[in-house]
Chains A and B, each alone.
Chain A
Amino acid sequence: MTSPEGAGPAVPPGPDGTARAAAPEPEGAAPGMPPRPADATRTVDAKPEETARAGTARPGDATRAETPKPQETAGAGPPLLDVTDLAVRFGPVRAVDGVSLRLAAGPFGLGLVGESGSGKSTIGRAVVRLVAMAGGQIRFEGKDVAALRGSALKRYRRAAQIVFQDPDNSLDPRMRIGASVTEPLIAHRIVTRRLAAGRARELLAEVGLDPELVSRYPHQLSGGQRQRIAIARALSVQPRLLVLDEPTSAIDVKAQARILRLIADLRAGRNLAYLLITHNLGIVSELCEQTAVLYLGRVVESGPTTELLSVPAHPYTQALRSAVPEVDMAARRSRLILPGEPPDAARPPPGCVFHPRCPLAIGRCATEVPALREVRPGRQVACHRAEEVLAGVKTGARTSSG
């Protein structure tokens, strides 16, 4: 339990070993994305279908990809990523249990927040096909990700990249930085080995590092620098979607601030869309338009980040929000202390999974699973008493005044 949070799902790998097989060999194994039109000249395998996204959609794509959905709040176009009713199981554990998410084309940030065992990292891994789905559908630019095979899958692996919490586990200690950064480029035959060295220097410069670091080894760099390298490598293949799994949890606070600035810059400069997985509400507040709050593998609330954080509609969001330590004295509030521990995902409680700890639970909550429903435009909540929470009902929970 060296880093319970970052290790993602607090569930053991299933008997089939899927999680374990996926985890140790992260980035090098899953590089890939088709080039953006501007980069086509530099690449050797620009595929015709990539132009679909540029607006000249093929007939087959148009119907399913552009079906408008009600609460599209950012980006009028079709979603880049559309996750419907996703389920992931590790043996008896329902790590992800019916999650739906939509991510607009970049620049756009969707935050996934929740605590250990909430399933947030598993969702990120399922999106880049590092863990197998037990149900539901993931569509990327209208295409069913689970059905991709062969070269289509390879193209998807370029289009959707993941950056992990701990760069030490995603960089080979025996490879020089330059080789690590360009490994995906060579694997995908985007540039030749001869040109790769120059490209590595450009990528390092883009993430704010001295290009001379290409000849160093990972141990000669600080944690923050290594995380930049991991980001540079993910960016090397020009992804359109980045899954950032707790990208700053393993590094210190000043380096964290610099990485967050880097993400903000890249988002603008590269038109990036990202799924930002974190337990830190301050980070989603700075970088994500939309946020989904997860509890025990389910979305309990989602909506525009600022609104969701300022007026939570779910008691769990409220508790999570109030638990965040604040530097500014003025911003502090009395604290809701949740009783007990999150339940075991292998034996979730009946009714609302949050009810055993919920300060507002009533009889109905123990028997009836609350559906995710729209309580305000663009805001979805799974709580029988969401209207009362929004209206500011007193919870009667144990509080402390910090």
Chain B
Amino acid sequence: MNEAASQKQAGLWLSKTVVRLLLLLWTLIVLYPVFWTFVTSLKNNQQVMLGKPWDFPSVLHFENYADVWNRAHFGSYFMNSILVTAGSTILSLALASMTAYVLARYSFKGRGILYFIYVASMMIPTTLGLIPLFFLLSDMHLSNSLFGLTLVYSVGTIGILPLGIFFLVGFYKTLPKELEEAATIDGCSFSGIFFRIMLPLSSPGLVTVGIMNALTVWNEYIMATVLINDPVKYTIPVGIAVMQGEMQYRTEWGPLFAGLSISMIPVIVMYVIYQRQITGGLTAGALKG
């Protein structure tokens, strides 16, 4: 009996070790390309062409960053991305929280259908709406405009609005009702209850949704490339793709990788700070579905 138990222990130890090795291998596969991006961003063309890809640069070419920031306009792409991300995160959060609060707390005719429409829209392929959306924005004179792009991100087909509504309805349902009832008795208006009591109470949920939305928008590529044609208004993902497309005419590996790094740095910082909200929010959203 004892021998069997110790054999089992040894077996468990062995399988744990094998698993640990595989986990370490995957860690390497995940992290190395990112690390390699930062290393390559500090090389000049000669170092990229002649050396091995994994060589460390003997001289660090930090000027690649200045170069891509100024000459390749990543400075303005960065600002555009910040504007669009901040604008659409705030707008969609405001709209989603109001809708979610009413859907979670009030019963009225059509509530079920409204909720269903928002949730079902998340399942429909966005590519179907791509061409009409482009012409809708041209008709409204909003194509080639960062404001138009912000609107599309906030309430359009990329789906951060329904996801926010879906997540926040779940969140508002978990909040206690006593506070609202007390406030109603004290004569607080409907909107007063929302803005003064429920909105502050729901800030953890709002932070989670806000971060998820900000990440989605910061990284979004396809809408931005379809809706924006003016190089002055490119966001970072579009800027990167355009720069890669131009690589066949002039090679500048270091600056391209500096561009990739510039795109990733804010995301990495956000992930380090808000890791719990990001992973928690994404999985909570999908689990309830």
Note whether A and B form a binding pair: no
The interface of chain A, by Cβ under 8 A from chain B, is none
